[in-house]
Amino acid sequence: MSKTFEPKILAFLCNWCSYAGADLAGVSRFQYPPTIRVMRTMCSGRVDPTYIFEGLENGFDSVFVFGCHIGDCHYIDGNVHTAKRMNLVKEVLGLAGIGKDRMHLRWVSAAEGQLFADSVKELSEVTAELGPLDMEAAQLPLAAARRTFESPRLRWLLGMDRELTERENVYHEKIDPAAYDQLLKEAAKEELEKALILETLKEGSLSVRSIASKSGLPVYTVSQRLGDIERAGQVDLDRYEGTTPLFVSLAV
Amino acid sequence: MNTLEMAPKKKVGAIMVVGAGVAGMQASLDLASSGYYVYLVDRSPAIGGIMAQLDKTFPTNDCAMCIISPKLVEVGRHINIELLPNTEVESLQGQAGDFTATLKSQPRYIDLTSCTACGQCSQVCPALTVNEFNQGVDRREATFMKYPQAIPRGYSIDRDVCIGCGLCEKICLAESIRYDDRPRLTDVKVGAVILAVGNDVFDPAVLDDSTGYLRHPNVVTSLEFERILSASGPYRGHLMRPYDREEPRKIAWLQCVGSRDVNHCNNPYCSGVCCMYAIKEAVIAMEHAHSGLDTAIFFMDMRTYGKDFEQFYNRAREEHGVRFLRSRVHSVTPVGDGDLEIAYMNESGEVFTEVFNMVVLSVGFEVGRETQELAKRLGVELNENRFARTGSFTPVATSREGVFVCGTLQSPKDIPQSVLEASAAAAASSILLSDSRWDEAKTESKPFEVDVKGEPPRIGLFVCQCGINIGGVVDVPAVREYARSLPHVAYVEDNLYTCSQDTQDKMIEVIKEKNLNRVIVAACTPSTHEPLFRETLESAGLNKYLFEMANIRNHDSWVHQGDPAKATDKAKDLVRMAVAKAALLEPLKEPALSVTAGALVIGGGVAGMVAAKSIADQGYPVHLVEQASQLGGQALKLHKTWRGDSIPEYVEMLISEVNAHGGITVHLSTTVGDVQGFVGNFSSTLRNGDQSLQVEHGVAVIATGAHEYKPEEYLYRKSSQVLTHQELDARFNENDPRLHDIQSAVFIQCVGSREPERPYCSRVCCTHSVESALELKRRNPSADVYVLYRDMRTYGERELLYQEARKSGILFVRYSLDRKPVVREVEGILQVTVWDAILDGEVVLSPDLITLATAVVPNETKLLSRYFKIPVNAQNFFVEAHAKLRPVDFATDGVFLCGLAHYPKSVDESIAQAQAAASRAALLLSRDSVYFSGTIAQVDPAWCSSCGVCVSICPYSAPRFVESGRFEGKAEVNEALCKGCGLCTASCRSGAIRLQGFSDDQILAMIDAF
């Protein structure tokens, strides 16, 4: 079945390099499978991480992002941000159980028509191997992953990455990039856990154990993250069923 | 040579208090209110210590935060207390009376003078860490306030967690963020130092994890459990276990974790508080539970040795059904999904297992590493248990002169003992520095006041946006415009922060410019901000009672975030009601009362003598009354303190010091015949036979003591070989030769204590027996010595004495109340039969000597109770104003309590309490006059029907009948005693009593305005 399966893929191409590279592939008649549907953005830096999940939620089996090679960005270094964001997107896709390979980032210059065609071919095969995204199973993690990248905390941390690791923080210190990367990953994990809980609570009041079994999170993790969400005023204790407290989402 | 240089340098009238827990706060308040300037230093960004983390306090189950937060506010606002949070003492140079302390303050990164504690910074902060205040049960941000009621009220940045992203600075509307804040070194000159740094709680993570603490989240420490129970804690007071938030149906407490233990840690002492807090937690948890909660406490000895503790224990067992398992716990093993199996051995050595849903480790106290280093820097000696070294008769003096200690750094102890020691340390400092009293301290000046009587109300209204805390929900401009239409409102404005310094300055201008004579602030809560705004009114020349607040934040915008329209309507209602009241506000006078600078101390035992001497040493004359023909009291009959110091030698010295003291007039064979007057102005009649003497005094200290119970049982008085403790001590003191022949001795504990007719524990007898048993062993090492006990209550460091006794071969046999020992005389030989629970069999002993550890029974209390209007409990001990925070005060102002009349206690504890009473007394004696609140009740004699309901209902004895003159027989309220609660006003059948500031017309106007 996977041999005959032809995935549908959403591809973001930056205007100056990869879009032009794709044009060149056409001009050069480099053949590649008819899997991708292209979105043109001026810079790969325009690709909001939530678009990846928007794509997957709408039936695409994978999302590709193409940008200029590092150093070639027409907006100085927008693609550096893209790289950092998409790294984290992959991390979250992995954590959420959707699969890191449902998203790929490649650099293709305006002169690399062949590379573009080859990349699409190669990544399409990778996606075909994965098979179609099981929407039934992926619905909750996708919604949660999307919510993760909507969280003001993660967006802020992502946005401040280079300011804090390459220039300086308010104390005139540089943060070690590896340490910041770790911090980002931890924050993403926590935000995903919170998002999973909030998404699960959409069906009504639930106990910690039922949130855990529905979200796949460990019981104690649910208890701990629930604490964070409660502190932010997004969840409250609703009622008891015997000795089991049920929690309700206050998020709109 | 210049003779001036030879003259002793004047001592510095300032004191540094290190540690701002409940002990440090009490010491600071006592000193700051009696004429000294206080530097209160704490490592933490906020004051309050461990008590602020507790949910409830034993044995009254008072809410800890409710009773500590007024003290926090008082400390924060005191003109003679300079708070130095985030600060450590680097060094202490100089000597008693003239120290220079070098302080290092860590940067806070948020400017306290402008921070309004709105909390926006922490809401956006992306960096999280464990929340130490909630003991790691939940998390907090890098920008944080330690807890919602924290003083100083302001946030700080935890630099270890902060990533420096700069978001808080962008969001802070008050512009309070200071990333360039730096550590600061400051020198302060002080005459004395009080160490009140407290203890750490034991961290079970250092154990070999037989408790499962590291392996399972449902094993928590007792302090974590306090936070879980607390309504402001991580689970908002819902009883939940951390792993899955299920409400546990079975909880176990394991006692003595990190205490009485030299195998797993080096803490041989008993922490003194864990038995009581475990019982309290069990009872409170049961109250919180939705369905039946089973609680079990695994313990070795149940140490409920304090006032009302034993009754608390009995109620927990009999009424609440808390299970008490005398046992040794072997291990805790996680089982199933979240449960824990406890393996334990009972007294007879049988091993059992039982599964619980949650396990609480009753962790003890421990002197932290940082404190040990501090002690080293300050040159203060610690003892073998790492507590500050103190003497039996100088319980708050450290090894360095001029440096005093109180609270758990002195030795493990509970809150009231810490509080009274704090006052004792304050008294000791004050004695040292009394020549410099008022040198550094400021006095509050009464500002000029504009007379607004007769003027029509002109109300100024200030509506606060509180950044976006109010303005983000309530439509503040709409409230502002609405308020313009209200009657008597002459001026309205809204502010970003009404409490900020620039707004305060502007408010003063506006009041003068617009001729305002009433002010309303619609903002946060009067509990934190009323004093501030009242001060602003005073600065503008208005009487401070012409102020009213409308709480449109804590009671409105914060709680109706989802419904701005209704929140705005509610704000308008609250403002309208405030306006209705404000129009009726009147300027109130704060009555001043002159104080007779002298004390009457009743009781010439150790407590009374120490109290008298501590007051006289501070420069105030004392009359010391003793009904016996000599001073000394019970201490005359004792041998040694639990630390092994000779009591007779000390008492002798104390008596001669008191007799020689120029400030103390001793009245022997004298009783108090009658007492007239009230705080500051007492007049008492002293009777000695037919003679009587009238003395005037501002305060009184009750130290009437107690005596040894003389039992009817155990062949007492029938056999010459059966003695009480004091009788044995007399033989020790006399070096009685009979003691050398004793081959076998038995001590019987709890004689007359912990029994239905006397349900309390007499506290001192276990330690006394252990010390006397050791003394017998010292005199005759081959003697067989047995102690028959119910629970060994060698609390605190006294535990080491118990360990020494066991090592020396003294045998301890436990008996239970239903199988008390039997003493017989068989053919002239004493025979003691006791059922040994461990052997599960009868043991028969034939001692040469039986010592009965008999109860401590209070002396006569009725007359003084009536004279001073001070209550006694069912066992005739006097009842202090508050079991936790006012352990030496009475509800009746100006009367203080110490020694055995309060409760059984050891000599060192009596001395500390006596010094504490002296400190509290000095608060009044140090002033020519004291001011009282203007919010007091007044009787209109024309309406009074003389029914007396106000006289009987008042807890402070403020109302009384006028004795002569035009209004004879009518009630009047003593403004010095009235606390302004309004109980009398709401009970008066004739509507004759008016509570100023909360009068019927004012309250009704508010209701009607709705």
Task: Give the SS3 label for residue B497.
Answer: coil
Other Cβ atoms less than 10 A from the Cβ of B248: the count is: 23
Give ipTM to 2 decimals: 0.91
pLDDT digits (tens, 9 = 90+) for B744-763: 999 999 999 999 999 999 99
Facing residue for A164 by CB, picked from B164, B240, B337: B164
What distance in Å separates the CA atoms of residue B165 and residue A171, rounded to the nearest whole number? 9
pLDDT at B6: 55
What are B675's two structure tokens? 């007492």
Whether A240 has its CB under 8 Å from any CB of chain B: the answer is yes
Quick one: three-class SS letters along chain A? CCCCCCCCEEEEEECCCHHHHHHHHHHCCCCCCCCEEEEEECCHHHCCHHHHHHHHHCCCCEEEEEECCCCCCCCCCHHHHHHHHHHHHHHHHHHCCCCHHHEEEEECCCCCHHHHHHHHHHHHHHHHHHCCCCHHHHHHHHHHHHHHHHCHHHHHHHHHHHHHHHHCCCCCCCCCHHHHHHHHHHHHHHHHHHHHHHHHHHHCCECHHHHHHHHCCCHHHHHHHHHHHHHCCCEEEEEEECCEEEEEECCC
What separation in angstroms does the CA of A116 have from each of A41, A113, B37, B847?
A: 16, 5, 78, 103
For residue A1, name the pLDDT band (cuts at 50, 70, 90): very low
Identify all chain A residues contacting B248, using CB atoms and an 8 Å cutoff: 243
pLDDT digits (tens, 9 = 90+) for B187-236: 999 999 999 999 999 999 988 788 999 999 999 999 999 999 998 899 98
Residue A4 CB-half CA count within 13 A: 1
DSSP character for B803? H
What distance in Å separates the CA atoms of residue B281 and residue B467, rounded to the nearest whole number? 40
CATH architecture of B202-366: 3-Layer(bba) Sandwich (3.50)
pLDDT digits (tens, 9 = 90+) for B110-154: 999 999 999 999 999 999 999 999 999 999 999 999 998 899 999
How many Cβ pairs closer than 8 A exist between chain A and B?
Answer: 95
Q: Is the dihedral of CA B610, B613, B616, B617 positive or negative?
A: negative
Q: Choose the mutation target among A243, A244, A248, A250 for the interface with B, i.e. most B CBs under 10 Å.
A: A243
DSSP character for B568? H
B147-168 burial, b at 16+ Cβ within 10 Å, e below that, comes to: bebbbbbbbbbbeebbbbbbbb
Average pLDDT, chain A: 94
Fill in the amino acid letter for B845: L
Q: Sort strands B599-602 and B699-702 into parallel, antiparallel or unpaired.
A: parallel
What are B129's two structure tokens? 């860490």
For residue B787, name the pLDDT band (cuts at 50, 70, 90): very high
Q: Percent of chain B beyond pLDDT 90?
A: 87
For residue B5, name the pLDDT band (cuts at 50, 70, 90): low
Whether A175 has its CB under 8 Å from any CB of chain B: the answer is yes
Facing residue for B243 by CB, picked from A171, A187, A219: A219
Mean pLDDT of the region A41-49: 95
DSSP character for B8? P
For residue A3, name the pLDDT band (cuts at 50, 70, 90): low
Mean pLDDT of the region B52-63: 92
Phi, psi of B456 (to 5 degrees): -65, 150
Are A209 and B244 within 8 A, CB to CB?
yes
Facing residue for A243 by CB, picked from B126, B163, B246: B246
CATH number assigned to the domain with residue range B107-182, chosen from the 4 options 3.20.20.210, 3.30.1440.10, 3.40.50.1220, 3.30.70.20: 3.30.70.20
Whether A29 has its CB under 8 Å from any CB of chain B: the answer is no
Gyration radius from chain A CA atoms: 20
**Angle B91-B94-B95 from CA coordinates, rounded to 5°:** 120
pLDDT digits (tens, 9 = 90+) for B892-950: 899 999 999 999 999 999 999 999 999 999 999 998 888 888 999 999 999 999 999 99
What are A237's two structure tokens? 């204790």
B52 membership: H or E segment, kind and range: none
What distance in Å separates the CA atoms of residue B400 and residue B707, rounded to the nearest whole number? 36
pLDDT at B945: 92
Facing residue for B249 by CB, picked from A153, A226, A243: A243
Q: Sort strands B744-751 and B489-495 into parallel, antiparallel or unpaired.
A: unpaired
pLDDT at B541: 94
CATH code of B933-1009, in short, is 3.30.70.20
Task: Give the SS3 label for residue B959.
Answer: strand
For residue B390, name the pLDDT band (cuts at 50, 70, 90): very high
Q: Is the pLDDT of residue B43 over 90?
A: yes
Domains belonging to chain A, first-starting first, are 9-131 (3.40.50), 151-249 (1.10.10.10)
In this structure, are residues B791 and B303 in contact, taking their beta carbons and an 8 Å threshold?
A: yes
In this structure, are residues B478 and B536 in contact, taking their beta carbons and an 8 Å threshold?
A: no
Are A180 and B234 within 8 A, CB to CB?
no
Are A170 and B165 within 8 A, CB to CB?
yes
Domain covering B12-105+184-199+367-447, topology: FAD/NAD(P)-binding domain (3.50.50)
Identify all chain A residues contacting B159, using CB atoms and an 8 Å cutoff: 171
Counting beta carbons within 10 angstroms of the beta carbon of residue B866, is it exposed (0 to 12), middle (13 to 18) or buried (19 or more)? Answer: exposed
What distance in Å separates the CA atoms of residue A64 and residue A101, rounded to the nearest whole number? 10
pLDDT digits (tens, 9 = 90+) for B800-845: 999 999 999 999 999 999 999 999 999 989 999 999 878 888 999 9
pLDDT at B929: 87
Identify all chain A residues contacting B217, using CB atoms and an 8 Å cutoff: 220, 223
Instruction: Look at residues B517, B271, B523, B286 and name the one whose alpha carbon lies nearest to residue B413.
Output: B271
What are B58's two structure tokens? 């034993």
pTM greater than the 0.80 cutoff: yes
Facing residue for B290 by CB, picked from A169, A219, A243: A243
Quick one: three-class SS letters along B197-264? CCCEECCHHHCCCCCCCCCCCCEEEHHHHHHHHCCCCCCCCCCCCCCCCCCCCEEEEEEEECCCECCC
Whether A157 has its CB under 8 Å from any CB of chain B: the answer is yes
pLDDT at B290: 87
Q: Sort strands B699-702 and A103-107 into parallel, antiparallel or unpaired.
A: unpaired
Domain covering B459-582, topology: Rossmann fold (3.40.50)
Residue with tokens 């689970």: B235
Instruction: Look at residues A193, A178, A190 and name the one whose alpha carbon lies nearest to residue A153.
Output: A190
pLDDT digits (tens, 9 = 90+) for B154-168: 999 999 999 999 999
Q: Is B854 left (phi over 0), alpha (psi -120 to 50) or beta?
A: beta
Counting beta carbons within 10 angstroms of the beta carbon of residue B844, is it exposed (0 to 12), middle (13 to 18) or buried (19 or more)? Answer: exposed
Whether A88 has its CB under 8 Å from any CB of chain B: the answer is no
For residue B445, name the pLDDT band (cuts at 50, 70, 90): confident
In this structure, are residues B950 and B618 in contact, taking their beta carbons and an 8 Å threshold?
A: no
Q: Is the pLDDT of residue B1 over 70?
A: no
pLDDT digits (tens, 9 = 90+) for B197-207: 999 999 999 88
Are A170 and B169 within 8 A, CB to CB?
yes
Other Cβ atoms less than 10 A from the Cβ of A19: the count is: 23
What are B538's two structure tokens? 């005073």
Identify all chain A residues contacting B240, using CB atoms and an 8 Å cutoff: 245
Class of domain B595-705+871-930: alpha beta
pLDDT digits (tens, 9 = 90+) for A162-198: 999 999 999 999 999 999 999 999 999 999 999 999 9
For residue B7, name the pLDDT band (cuts at 50, 70, 90): low
What angle do helix axes B476-484 and B564-582 make, rounded to 10 degrees? Answer: 30
In this structure, are residues B659 and B632 in contact, taking their beta carbons and an 8 Å threshold?
A: no
Q: Is the pLDDT of residue A2 over 50?
A: no
In this structure, are residues B935 and B526 in contact, taking their beta carbons and an 8 Å threshold?
A: no
Whether B247 has its CB under 8 Å from any CB of chain A: the answer is yes
Domains B12-105+184-199+367-447 and B595-705+871-930 share a fold: yes
What distance in Å separates the CA atoms of residue B960 and residue B678, rounded to the nearest whole number? 12
Are A242 and B166 within 8 A, CB to CB?
no
What distance in Å separates the CA atoms of residue B753 and residue B750, rounded to the nearest whole number? 5
pLDDT digits (tens, 9 = 90+) for B495-531: 988 988 888 889 999 999 999 999 999 999 888 889 8
pLDDT at B3: 46
Domain boundaries, chain B: 12-105+184-199+367-447, 107-182, 202-366, 459-582, 595-705+871-930, 708-857, 933-1009
Whether A160 has its CB under 8 Å from any CB of chain B: the answer is yes
What are B467's two structure tokens? 């950044």
Average pLDDT, chain B: 94
Contacts of B640 (CB under 8 A, 6+ apart): B646, B647, B732, B771, B775
CATH number assigned to the domain with residue range B708-857, chosen from the 4 options 3.50.50.60, 3.30.565.10, 3.30.300.210, 3.40.50.300: 3.50.50.60
